[in-house]
Amino acid sequence: MEVIIGKKVLEKLNYHLREMAYSKLYIITDHNVKGLYGQYLSDSLKDYDHAFYSIPPGEKSKSVDMVLAIYDDLIDKKIDRGSLIIAFGGGVVGDLAGFIASTFKRGIAYIQIPTSLLAQVDSSIGGKVGIDYGGLKNIIGSFYFPQLVFIDVSLLKTLSYRDVICGLAEILKYGLIADYHLFKYACSNFDKVFNKNEDLLLELVNSSVCIKQEIVKRDKLDKGERRILNFGHTIGHGIESLYDFNKYNHGEAVILGMIYESYIGMEMGLIDSSYFIEIYNSLIELIKPIRFKEDEIKSLLDLMRNDKKNLDNKFIFILPTGKGQVGVFDNIDTDLIIKSLKGEWF
């Protein structure tokens, strides 16, 4: 899977598509991204027969109803296997468009042009596509790799503060699981990240994509090593659902998850207290941890027990084992999880 990363590269997309020879291009995007960059993309594709389908922004659009509406439009517009679907947006658009590409006419080619930081460093890489159903996130889906991932960091200049946090959380996670220097580098440049400094973003996106690609290459179908990408996510997912996905966005919840899970790692003797304090002091600059009440902890444990990553009713945790290193653990003492969530230690 080819990945192109750069500043102001969208205007050169035309050139990269030249080698691919598709009859029609069908761009799936959301209303925000279309409003901001639709014309820009259209100009760069002026030599191609292309059409847009724009969806309302947000997770609710990753639905069966939306898939059916887009299938209808694909049929109307006579999109065939010689056409190319372009996912132009954040992770919602990428997951939905990739799922449609994987199923329509038994699979037609698609490319990802991720426009949010989370989509650039995470969701566009790794071939996981899907939609939500019955209140369950990503419950229907498949693995379907794009022909090309085309990343233009200049598009990030319009991203909101909270959406920057979402992507930054994953960058920090890559640092903590695989590249301590990336973690340190990102932490010492939070101001530049939030100011959307393009040179810095380019470096961070490049390093993150390399790490994710390496891990995915060794475990394409998520049967083993890919699990380490879930550092911070076991508790993070629990926190997101505890508040019905309203209070914390995914990135904020993952940052909290990384704090509590690092504490568990320290208490288990996997990392020393100075490394834990380093992680803690860096992450609380972005989001403050919470002292969960007893009933909240009970709900969190239930939510974590139901996490689809768990096997045989055991909690699976990814915990830090050294600087830029993690391991997979399935024998975590429930009392230790409770102690971490009570937060009497901060």
Residues between 142 and 161 that touch ligand NAD (CB under 6 A) = 155-156, 158-159
35 binds ligand NAD (CB under 6 A): no
Smallest separation (angstroms) from ligand NAD to the CB of 283: 19
* Gap between the Cα atoms of 1 and 110, Å rounded: 11
* Gap between the Cα atoms of 246 and 218, Å rounded: 35
- CB-nearer residue toward ligand NAD: 213 or 321: 213
119 binds ligand NAD (CB under 6 A): yes
Judged by CB under 6 A, how many residues of this single chain contact ligand NAD?
30
* Gap between the Cα atoms of 216 and 149, Å rounded: 15
115 binds ligand NAD (CB under 6 A): yes
Closest CA to 83 of 3, 41, 28: 28
* Gap between the Cα atoms of 108 and 82, Å rounded: 8
240 binds ligand NAD (CB under 6 A): no
| Contact window for ligand NAD (CB under 6 A) among 47-55, 119-127, 230-238, 295-303 | 119-127
Smallest separation (angstroms) from ligand NAD to the CB of 75: 25
91 binds ligand NAD (CB under 6 A): yes
* Gap between the Cα atoms of 128 and 91, Å rounded: 11
Which of 5, 83, 89, 286 is close enough to bind ligand NAD by CB under 6 A?
89
Closest CA to 174 of 142, 205, 211: 211
Long-range contacts of 131-137 (CB under 8 A, 24+ apart): 131/62, 131/63, 131/64, 131/66, 131/67, 131/95, 131/96, 131/99, 132/59, 132/62, 132/63, 133/63, 133/64, 137/59
Residues between 169 and 228 that touch ligand NAD (CB under 6 A) = none
- CB-nearer residue toward ligand NAD: 91 or 232: 91
Which of 5, 13, 30, 99 is close enough to bind ligand NAD by CB under 6 A?
30
126 binds ligand NAD (CB under 6 A): yes
166 binds ligand NAD (CB under 6 A): yes
32 binds ligand NAD (CB under 6 A): yes
109 binds ligand NAD (CB under 6 A): no
Closest CA to 280 of 203, 118, 172: 172
90 binds ligand NAD (CB under 6 A): yes
Provide the strand spans (E) within 25-183: 25-30, 50-55, 84-89, 110-114, 128-133, 136-143, 148-152
Rg, Å, the chain Cα set: 20
Smallest separation (angstroms) from ligand NAD to the CB of 295: 27
Q: Tell me the three state secondary structure of residue 319.
A: strand
Using an 8 Å Cβ cutoff, are 146 and 1 in contact?
yes
Which of 11, 59, 199, 333 is close enough to bind ligand NAD by CB under 6 A?
59
Using an 8 Å Cβ cutoff, are 60 and 245 in contact?
no
* Gap between the Cα atoms of 310 and 320, Å rounded: 18
Smallest separation (angstroms) from ligand NAD to the CB of 28: 11
186, two tokens? 């990102």
| Contact window for ligand NAD (CB under 6 A) among 53-61, 231-239, 279-287, 314-322 | 53-61
Which of 44, 54, 116, 340 is close enough to bind ligand NAD by CB under 6 A?
116
118 binds ligand NAD (CB under 6 A): yes
Interacting residues toward ligand NAD by CB under 6 A: 30, 32-33, 36, 57-59, 62, 89-93, 95, 115-116, 118-119, 122-123, 126, 128, 137-138, 155-156, 158-159, 163, 166
